[in-house]
């Protein structure tokens, strides 16, 4: 019986990419559709708390994107 050795590939993800993914995840959890969350999450000049608060106060995601971007 022989053992197969799995070839492991290490993917290095930059800190910026980790932050972008976290921001997108937070926006998705708040209620933004995937495309909007990705557009907003990739922009460091957009305040994440403001983006989430807009939805919490009843703003529709499409209008929030227009306001933020």
Distance CA 34, CA 45 (A): 19
pLDDT at 12: 84
- pLDDT score, position 57: 98
pLDDT given for residue 4 in this prediction: 56
Q: Can you list the alpha helix ranges (DSSP code H) found in the chain?
A: 15-30, 34-41, 48-56, 61-68
Please report the pLDDT score of residue 11 as a whole number. 72
Which residues constitute the domain of residue 32? Answer: 15-68
> Is residue 10, in this structure, part of any structural domain at all?
no
pLDDT profile of the chain (69 residues), mean per 10: 54 90 98 97 96 98 97
* CA distance readout (Å), 29 to 1, 10, 32, 56: 48, 28, 7, 12
- pLDDT given for residue 54 in this prediction: 98
Domain count, the chain: 1
**Residue 7 within a domain:** no
Instruction: Using a cut of 0.85, tell me whether the model's pTM lies above it.
Output: no
């Amino acid at each position: 019986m022989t053992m197969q050795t799995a070839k492991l590939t290490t993917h290095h993800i930059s800190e910026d990419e980790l932050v972008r993914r976290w921001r997108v995840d937070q926006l998705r959890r708040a209620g933004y559709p995937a495309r909007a969350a990705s557009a907003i999450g990739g922009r460091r000049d957009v305040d994440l708390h403001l983006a989430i608060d807009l939805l919490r106060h009843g703003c529709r995601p499409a209008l929030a994107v227009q306001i933020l971007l």
